Every structure is written in structure tokens, then in C-alpha cells.
């Protein structure tokens, strides 16, 4: 569920009309619902109870510090994949012992920063990284807590660009080599193995791939314990999908996901960590845009919006679907027609939807892209020198701008012209 509903003929975020925000902030803008973020986090906590667990929000899905503070204050941990995300989590008040550092390309500088500031664990992705971290930690007189991300060679049955658990993907260490790798960790002076990590992909819409991966993790846990390693923590990654359409088809619920974890891994007595991002943030946000022109083309009509692929790149990058709705509620039975929904960028790829049935919208009307909270603002950029899209957070009947739209002077001042020009 989410908290974006029509009231009195206008789409609201909780108790605030999106048209009111548009009048104050301008368009396009992202809007997040605090109530939805809170509810989705709580769904995972309820699903994992009574297991000892930590729900680590995947910052890569939505990294605004205000959102991180909201979730951190609820008790969430954070999954980070760069030192920038680590510093965002710390700026939001999340203690180091609730931060997990993932990612295939951690630098020595990033490792040192996290060790100095405090870290729950590093999820190791390769043997060179493992040896580098040991050197850094040992030079600081520390032993870094680590898990090894094992690649279980499981087909996540998701988009090829967000699948991470097959043998040909760049992520993790082949599970067949895990015992050998953990044996080396035990010999390295700067590392302490605390558990196992696995993550097979994003936007999974069925539980079977998770079950296959969890079975392999259970077998590996038994084998590593037999080898004398302490395995007290299982990091199961994230990846549970969300419904991007309003059809009757829906991915599994967190409750079903939690039941599977208990069935496959509950007997091991391990603390369970999960790293959901999309399911917490995705349906918690919308992108609001205004129609610039309605263009009648040859055999098709276009809605030209003031939002573009630089503001929401998922449709262009992944062919992703987002429901697009009018902010002013259409009357029951109001006519519709197919539109190609596009932005103003000089790229044919700047297309959000083709032949999408929508109400008869006009210049100046507002539309909202649903389920845009995950991988929306975080992937936005300033292509075509378009100002970065702002972000707004709503709670109950009030809203706040949590990232302002830069003006053109700010953008221009970032460029430095050398003296010799």
C-alpha cells in the first residue's frame, strides 16, 4: 500500500495535495510519503519476528539524508556501497554498528574511513579486496568484521542489468570456493569472519530463486562451522520486487519472504540481516511533472512533459514501466486516448511511455509517475544543463523540501575556467 490517494478531486500525498506542492516548489519534483516509508520498513520487521534481525536499508535506492534519518530513527541499519553513502548514513545519525559496507570496488581509502568511523561489517566480494582490507585494518591495529558474498549461481529471473547471482555476474565469490576463501580469512591478521553474505538480484517477483540461494547458504553454513569458523550472521541481501502497475499481479509479500527465511535458515541460530531498498522506497515516492505541450503527430499524439530522462532514467535505461496518472482526478467514465509520453531532451530515448491510455490532458496539467521513489532521484543528473530535480518529504498535513532545485547560477559556478583561456 501507499499513501498517494485522490481526495476532493486531487491526488494527495498523505494529507497534502500534490498541486499545492507544485505551486510552491515548481515542477518536476519528487515527493515521498513518510507514512509509506515507515510502514514498509515495519513490514520487514514484522516479517522477520521473532528472529534476531537487522533490516538494513539499501541507500542506493534513495539516499536523501532526511529519508535516512527517518528510517534510522526507526532502528533501521544501512547498506552502503560507497564512502559517500557511508557518510550520508552517518550524517543521518546512524551509528557505525548498524552500517554494512557492500560493493565490488571498495578502495583502501574507503575502507580506512569506515574503520575509523565504525562499521558493522564489510561484505567482501573478491580475494584481492579481502587482502587489501586485511592490510588496512592491520595497519590500524584492528580486525575488520567481514562476511564473504558468495555467488550461488542462481537465476533470479529478473532484468539482466539487475541480476547479480549468476556465475557470469561480477559480484561475489563462487560458492564452490567459499571454504578455501574462509580458510584464508582465518589466516589473515586484519580480518574476522562473522558470517555469510548473498544477494542474487533486484526486482524479484517470485520466491523460488530466494529459496534456491538460501538452501545453498544453509549448506555452506554447516560446512564452514564444521571447518571451525564462527558463522553467527547471515546477510541475505535484498531484491524483493514491487508492483509497478495496478494490475492484480503482485510480487510476494514481505510476510511470505520472512516465512521462507524462517523455513530455510531459522534452525541455524544466526542473526538475519536483509538489505531491502526498492520495497521500502519504491512505492513511497512519486515524480510530479507538468504538461508543456500536447503535440498531434502523424498517427500518434504526444504529451511533452517538463520532466525528462535525466530526472527519471529507468524507462530509458531498463524499459521500465511506471503508471502515469493525472493529478486532477478524472471523472468516472472520462474518455481516454493513447499518448506517447516524452520529455524535452534531445534524445529519442527520452520517452517514458508509448501509446499509453491517459485522460485528455491539456497544457499545464499535472501528472504523477507512481512507484518512483526507488532509483529515481538517486540516478537523476543534469544532462542538457537541466537543474537537478528537487525532493520533497510529506508527513501528515505538512511538507518540506529536502533537496532544493539548484538555480542556473549555482550550476554555472561549478565549472572552472582556467586562467589561460
Residues 96 and 102: their CA atoms lie apart, in Å, by 14
Element (H, E) at 99: strand 99-101
**Alpha-carbon distance 259 to 49, whole Å?**
10
For 414, the grid coordinates are: 561549478
Buried b (16+ CB within 10 A) or exposed e, 227-258: eebebebbbbbbbbbbbbeeeeeebbebeebb
Q: 3-state secondary structure string, 167-192?
A: CCCCCCEEHHHHHHHHHHHHHCCCEE
31 is catalytic: no
Report yes or no: 206 and 214 within 8 Å, Cβ to Cβ: no
- If DSSP codes are grouped into helix, strand and coil, which group holds residue 263? helix
d(CA 304, CA 341): 6
Give the residue from 87, 73, 35 showing the smallest Cα distance to 284. Answer: 35
Catalytic-role residue among 31, 56, 270, 346:
346
Beta carbons of 34 and 394 less than 8 angstroms apart: yes
CA 132, 116, 191 angle in degrees (round to 5)?
Answer: 40
C-alpha–C-alpha distance, residues 162 and 238, integer Å:
12
φ and ψ of 5, to 5 deg: -135, 155
The 3 state secondary structure assigned to 337-366 is: EEEEEECCCCCCCCEEEEEEEEECCCCCCE
Q: Which residues are catalytic?
A: 346
Amino acid at each position: 500500500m501507499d499513501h498517494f490517494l485522490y481526495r476532493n478531486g486531487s491526488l494527495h500525498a498523505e494529507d497534502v495535495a500534490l498541486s499545492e506542492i507544485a505551486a510552491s516548489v515548481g515542477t518536476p519534483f519528487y515527493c515521498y510519503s513518510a507514512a509509506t516509508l515507515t510502514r514498509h520498513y515495519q513490514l520487514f520487521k514484522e516479517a522477520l519476528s521473532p528472529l534476531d534481525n537487522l533490516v538494513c536499508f539499501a541507500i542506493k535506492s534513495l539516499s536523501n539524508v532526511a529519508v535516512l534519518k527517518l528510517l534510522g530513527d526507526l532502528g533501521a541499519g544501512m547498506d552502503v556501497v560507497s564512502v559517500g553513502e557511508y557518510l550520508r548514513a552517518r550524517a543521518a545519525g546512524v551509528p557505525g554498528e548498524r552500517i554494512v559496507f557492500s560493493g565490488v570496488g571498495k578502495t583502501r581509502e574507503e575502507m580506512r574511513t569506515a574503520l575509523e568511523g565504525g562499521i558493522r561489517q564489510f561484505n567482501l566480494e573478491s580475494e584481492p579486496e579481502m587482502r587489501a582490507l586485511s592490510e588496512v585494518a592491520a595497519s590500524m591495529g584492528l580486525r575488520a568484521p567481514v562476511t564473504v558474498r558468495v555467488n550461488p549461481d542462481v537465476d533470479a529471473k529478473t532484468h539482466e542489468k539487475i541480476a547479480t547471482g549468476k556465475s557470469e555476474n561480477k559480484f561475489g565469490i563462487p560458492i564452490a570456493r567459499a571454504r578455501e576463501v574462509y580458510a584464508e580469512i582465518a589466516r589473515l591478521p586484519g580480518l574476522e569472519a562473522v558470517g555469510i553474505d548473498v544477494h542474487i538480484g533486484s526486482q524479484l517477483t517470485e520466491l523460488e530463486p530466494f529459496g534456491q540461494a538460501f538452501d545453498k547458504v544453509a549448506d555452506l553454513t554447516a560446512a564452514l562451522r564444521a571447518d571451525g569458523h564462527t558463522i553467527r550472521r547471515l546477510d541475505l541481501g535484498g531484491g524483493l520486487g514491487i508492483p509497478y502497475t495496478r494490475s492484480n499481479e503482485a510480487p510476494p509479500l514481505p510476510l511470505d519472504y520472512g516465512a521462507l527465511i524462517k523455513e530455510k535458515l531459522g534452525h541455524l541460530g544466526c542473526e538475519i540481516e536483509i538489505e531491502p531498498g526498492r520495497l521500502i522506497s519504491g512505492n513511497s515516492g512519486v515524480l510530479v511533472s507538468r504538461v508543456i505541450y500536447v503535440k498531434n503527430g502523424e498517427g500518434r499524439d504526444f504529451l511533452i512533459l517538463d520532466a525528462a530522462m535525466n530526472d527519471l532514467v529507468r524507462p530509458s535505461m531498463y524499459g521500465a514501466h511506471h503508471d502515469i496518472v493525472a493529478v486532477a482526478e478524472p471523472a468516472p467514465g472520462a474518455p481516454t486516448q493513447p499518448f506517447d509520453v516524452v520529455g524535452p531532451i534531445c534524445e529519442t530515448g527520452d520517452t517514458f511511455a508509448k501509446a499509453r491510455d491517459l485522460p485528455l490532458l491539456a497544457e499545464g496539467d499535472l501528472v504523477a509517475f507512481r512507484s518512483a521513489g526507488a532509483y529515481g532521484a538517486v540516478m537523476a543528473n543534469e544532462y542538457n544543463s537541466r537543474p537537478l530535480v528537487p525532493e520533497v518529504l510529506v508527513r501528515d498535513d505538512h511538507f518540506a523540501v529536502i533537496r532544493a532545485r539548484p538555480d542556473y547560477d549555482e550550476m554555472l559556478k561549478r565549472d572552472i575556467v582556467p586562467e589561460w583561456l
